[in-house]
Amino acid sequence: MSNPIQIIKVSSFLGHKDCIYALEKSAAGSFFSAGTDGMVVQWNIANPAEGELVANVASSVYALHYLPIENQLLVGQNHEGIYQIDLATKSILKSAKITTSQIFDIKTSDKYVLAATGDGQIILLAREDLSVISKLKLSDKSARMIAVNPSHGSYAVCFSDFSIRIFSFDGHQISHHLTGHLNSVFSIAFSPDGRYLLSGSRDATVKIWDAEKDYTLHQSIPAHLFAINDIKFNNSGNLFATASMDKTIKIWDSQTFRLLKVIDKARYESHRTSINKILWHDNQLLSASDDKSLMLWAINEGVMDIKMGM
């Protein structure tokens, strides 16, 4: 078997009282999680028993975004807008009531904060003070996730109207409108070199779009049994992972797009219910589930898994 991969379950993080829908990187050795219980928690990778409550808000949280230079956290509180939290003092610095709908994702550029909302909008805010610059109403269906292209000065947004739209940061105009999925598109991710855009849908397929060839469809993969909730590349870009409502995580080779491993409950004592978010931390992968738990996985390359096979 080429590209041997060993999977080891490292630890579990327990304490949330309901489904977990958001994972976000933090300072070295830590990460944030949030979900329908309104709790925003910061965890230490090395000490899963010590989660620190950062905020406890009144409604569900689907979106978190860390600002490392400022050491601040943007929290998308459903129906209430965005909170900007100072992590040193655990205090709210600013709040922006930008929508009465859900906030499904938050991303930033040098100048902007971008928010994807449940009423089909992309809302642009000034990074310095969270003032609203513009609201782009693009669909009657939800805007689900934003991905920033690391090399082309553009960003992508996927929607529950089965499509993906590509925007330029210069003027925020639509440059491409990608169709082909047969159901809501829940997740998108650019490869670290900006060459490919991957999309995952409720139709259980992963589609690979070639950004250097005008976003032509490079490949379509029947990847899972049910909806694909998240896609993430590792830092080196040689692997990507997908998380699904079918209770599995799959590890893929990003050069050949070949399946390498399946992480599930039967083989690895994984989650019991839908896996909603994943997050790479060096050669480890975090996962968040409807079962109220977080799990940490070591993804060791060049080592044959003792379980053999996928």
* Residue-wise pLDDT tens digits, 171-199: 899 999 999 999 999 999 999 999 999 99
Last residue of a domain, one of 228, 247, 279: 228
Contacts 24+ apart (CB under 8 A), 165-172: 165/138, 166/197, 166/215, 167/122, 169/109, 169/112, 172/122, 172/124, 172/134, 172/136
pLDDT for res 141: 98
Last residue of a domain, one of 211, 228, 245: 228
Structurally, the chain folds into a number of domains equal to: 2
Instruction: Kindly indicate the confidence band of residue 307, based on its pLDDT and cuts at 50, 70 and 90.
Output: low
Domain co-membership, 43 together with 188: yes
pLDDT for res 22: 98
Task: With a cut of 90, say whether residue 151 has pLDDT above it.
Answer: no
Q: What is the pTM of this model?
A: 0.95
Task: With a cut of 50, say whether residue 145 has pLDDT above it.
Answer: yes
308 Rama class: left (phi>0) / alpha (psi -120 to 50) / beta: left
Domain co-membership, 163 together with 61: yes
pLDDT for res 67: 96
Burial 119-153 (b: 16+ CB within 10 A, else e): ebbbbbbebeebeeeebbebbebbbbbbbbbeebe
Task: With a cut of 50, say whether residue 286 has pLDDT above it.
Answer: yes
Domain co-membership, 188 together with 221: yes
Of 258, 219, 263, the C-alpha closest to 238 is 258
Task: With a cut of 80, say whether residue 70 has pLDDT above it.
Answer: yes
Residues 56/74, Cβ–Cβ less than 8 Å = no
Task: With a cut of 70, say whether residue 130 has pLDDT above it.
Answer: yes
Domain co-membership, 152 together with 51: yes
Domain co-membership, 201 together with 134: yes
Segment 19-24 shows an average pLDDT of 98
pLDDT for res 218: 98
Domain co-membership, 140 together with 169: yes
Domain co-membership, 120 together with 265: no
Task: With a cut of 60, say whether residue 310 has pLDDT above it.
Answer: no
Domain co-membership, 234 together with 133: no
Instruction: Kindly indicate the confidence band of residue 2, based on its pLDDT and cuts at 50, 70 and 90.
Output: low
pLDDT for res 308: 44
pLDDT tens-digit series, residues 243-279: 999 999 999 999 999 999 999 999 999 999 999 999 9
pLDDT for res 28: 81
Domain co-membership, 28 together with 157: yes
Segment 226-248 shows an average pLDDT of 97
Domain range holding 253? Answer: 1-16+229-310
Task: With a cut of 70, say whether residue 239 has pLDDT above it.
Answer: yes
Q: What integer best gives the mean pLDDT of the chain?
A: 95
Domain co-membership, 106 together with 7: no
Task: With a cut of 50, say whether residue 309 has pLDDT above it.
Answer: no
Instruction: Return the structure tokens found at 125.
Output: 């805010």
Task: With a cut of 80, say whether residue 159 has pLDDT above it.
Answer: yes
Domain co-membership, 180 together with 307: no
Looking up residue 144, the CATH number of its domain turns out to be 2.130.10.10
Instruction: Return the structure tokens found at 264.
Output: 């599930």
Burial 63-74 (b: 16+ CB within 10 A, else e): bbbbeeeeebbb
Order of strands across the sheet that contains 294-301: 5-13, 294-301, 284-289, 275-281
DSSP-derived 3-state class of residue 124: strand
pLDDT for res 3: 72
Domain co-membership, 78 together with 173: yes
Cβ count near 208 (within 10 Å): 17
Residues 221/228, Cβ–Cβ less than 8 Å = no
